[in-house]
């Protein structure tokens, strides 16, 4: 007959083994399309699924969200990469590293930047003073104070010769030559000569450019399609761009005519049919015609997955009137009342919210599906 303590220990061992077996089955269900959130408890980071179960237990002193199926993690001051089951794919061996983009991840070795492929091979050897992630299969890199572009094989698309360079967007990249700005295409050809005093990136086929003190817009051929007459101008989104006239912001259409006259102290781009605008110290949502869709809040964020996070005071239900966060739907009604100390946009059907010092996650109905127990969080993503 076994001693009672031995029986208890055997029972605990069996329980642990059964739990481990259950976790193993769950981990086999994890794929690259499974949404995971990077969260921390104390000083270490791990990943949870949408039920709050640890998929990768918290054991990393630093980590980044998954990108292209791999996550950057720090082990003993060196960076490596794991997959969504927590398996090491690329051993930690670099003191500086970034997430994967277009199948490449930049790493720094001996004060020079190069790029890893998914096997962990330095497919583009270190040789750049500065480097950025790949965008549209092109990366901007700096050598001896000037910038150029490489492709994912490391071949030069544009030899270093520009004083400044931005990432590609919609097939074009803004470059700086001297004090003037122009645009390159994917082949490295100057599609728009550097003749502008400043410029912004292309969006929906148009880019804001500055001529003297005024801003207008060019198309992808470099033709000025909206004459420079604005004090400031931002990129187009959902067929609207916000511009400044006499220190007030309004919205124009692609023909340059005002759809919403300049009457706001600040403004932002349209997302999901709504934009945030500021009058005085308050922010509200407007629709594409300029009609108000909400009253004013201390803060209002872009809509995401049909809901927008707002911060304000619920005088009716909060005697102290402390500002809290909640969520509005597209009609401007509360989908989730003002009740949280901080809130992030919805992603993959969930939003991170803070109660006191701890973070949890709610669903679109406002139900707390993962109780607040984390110190820091990122949104769910694939």
The whole-number average pLDDT for the span 285-295 is 97
The whole-number average pLDDT for the span 29-52 is 96
pLDDT at position 25: 40
- Decide if pLDDT at 28 tops 70: no
pLDDT at position 24: 36
- Decide if pLDDT at 342 tops 50: yes
pLDDT at position 29: 85
pLDDT at position 340: 98
pLDDT at position 27: 57
pLDDT at position 322: 87
Residue 59, C-beta contacts closer than 8 angstroms, at least 6 positions apart: 44, 46
**Portion of the chain with pLDDT greater than 70, in percent:** 91
Whole-number mean pLDDT of the chain?
A: 92
Distances (CA, A) of 341 to 76, 240, 274, 337, 369: 34, 33, 24, 12, 17
pLDDT tens digits along 146-199: 999 999 999 999 999 999 999 999 999 999 999 999 999 999 999 999 999 999
Is the separation of the CB atoms in 149 and 188 below 8 Å? Answer: yes
Q: Say how far residue 16 (Cα) sits from the centre of its chain.
A: 39
pLDDT tens digits along 74-86: 999 999 999 999 9
Instruction: Tell me if residue 6 falls in helix, strand or coil.
Output: helix
Distance, CA of 258 to CA of 261 (rounded, Å): 6
Among 268, 333, 323, smallest CA distance to 297 is for: 323
Distance, CA of 11 to CA of 15 (rounded, Å): 6
pLDDT tens digits along 192-233: 999 999 999 999 999 999 999 999 999 999 999 999 999 999
Instruction: Tell me if residue 281 falls in helix, strand or coil.
Output: coil
- Decide if pLDDT at 257 tops 60: yes
CA distance from start to end of the chain:
53
- Decide if pLDDT at 299 tops 50: yes
Pairing state of beta strands 44-48 and 207-211? Answer: unpaired
- Decide if pLDDT at 6 tops 70: no
- Decide if pLDDT at 13 tops 50: no
- Decide if pLDDT at 19 tops 60: no
> Predicted confidence band at 321 (pLDDT cuts at 50, 70, 90)?
confident
Q: pTM here?
A: 0.89
> Predicted confidence band at 12 (pLDDT cuts at 50, 70, 90)?
very low
Distance, CA of 381 to CA of 371 (rounded, Å): 19
Any idea what the Cα angle at residue 47 is, between residues 41 and 50, rounded to 5°?
Answer: 110
> Predicted confidence band at 286 (pLDDT cuts at 50, 70, 90)?
very high
> Strands, E, within 110-240: which ranges?
112-116, 124-128, 130-131, 139-143, 146-150, 156-162, 164-165, 172-177, 180-185, 190-196, 198-199, 207-211, 214-218, 224-230, 232-233
């Amino acid at each position: 007959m076994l001693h009672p303590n031995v029986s208890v220990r055997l029972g605990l061992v069996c329980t642990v083994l059964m739990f481990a077996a259950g976790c193993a089955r769950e981990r086999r269900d994890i794929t690259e399309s499974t949404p995971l959130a990077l969260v921390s408890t104390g000083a270490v980071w791990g990943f949870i699924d949408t039920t709050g179960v640890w998929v990768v237990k918290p054991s990393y002193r630093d980590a980044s969200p998954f990108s292209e199926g791999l996550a950057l993690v720090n082990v003993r001051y060196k960076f490596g990469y794991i997959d969504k089951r927590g398996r090491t794919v690329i051993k930690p061996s670099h003191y500086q590293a970034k997430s994967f983009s277009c199948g490449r991840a930049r790493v720094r070795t001996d004060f020079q930047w190069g790029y890893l492929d998914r096997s962990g091979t330095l497919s583009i050897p270190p040789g750049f003073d500065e480097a950025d992630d790949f965008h549209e299969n092109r990366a901007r890199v700096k050598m001896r104070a000037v910038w150029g572009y490489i492709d994912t094989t490391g071949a030069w698309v544009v030899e270093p010769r520009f004083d400044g360079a931005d990432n590609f967007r919609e097939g074009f990249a803004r470059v700086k030559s001297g004090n003037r700005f122009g645009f390159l295409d994917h082949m490295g050809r100057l599609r728009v000569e550097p003749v502008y005093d400043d410029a912004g990136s292309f969006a929906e086929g148009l880019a804001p450019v500055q001529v003297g003190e005024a801003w207008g817009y060019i198309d992808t051929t470099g033709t000025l399609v909206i004459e420079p007459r604005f004090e400031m101008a931002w990129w187009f989104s959902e067929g609207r761009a916000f511009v400044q006239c006499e220190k007030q912001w309004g919205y124009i259409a692609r023909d340059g005519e005002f759809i919403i006259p300049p009457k706001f102290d600040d403004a932002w781009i349209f997302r999901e049919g709504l934009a945030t605008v500021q009058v005085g110290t308050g922010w509200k949502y407007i629709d594409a015609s300029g009609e108000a869709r909400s009253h004013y809040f201390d803060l209002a964020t872009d809509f995401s997955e049909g809901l927008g996070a707002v911060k304000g005071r619920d005088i009716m239900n909060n005697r102290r009137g402390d500002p809290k966060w909640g969520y509005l739907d597209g009609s401007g009604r509360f989908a989730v009342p003002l009740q949280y100390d901080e809130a992030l946009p919805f992603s993959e059907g969930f939003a991170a919210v803070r109660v006191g010092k701890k973070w949890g996650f709610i669903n679109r109905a406002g139900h707390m599906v993962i109780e607040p127990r984390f110190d820091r969080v990122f949104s769910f993503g694939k």
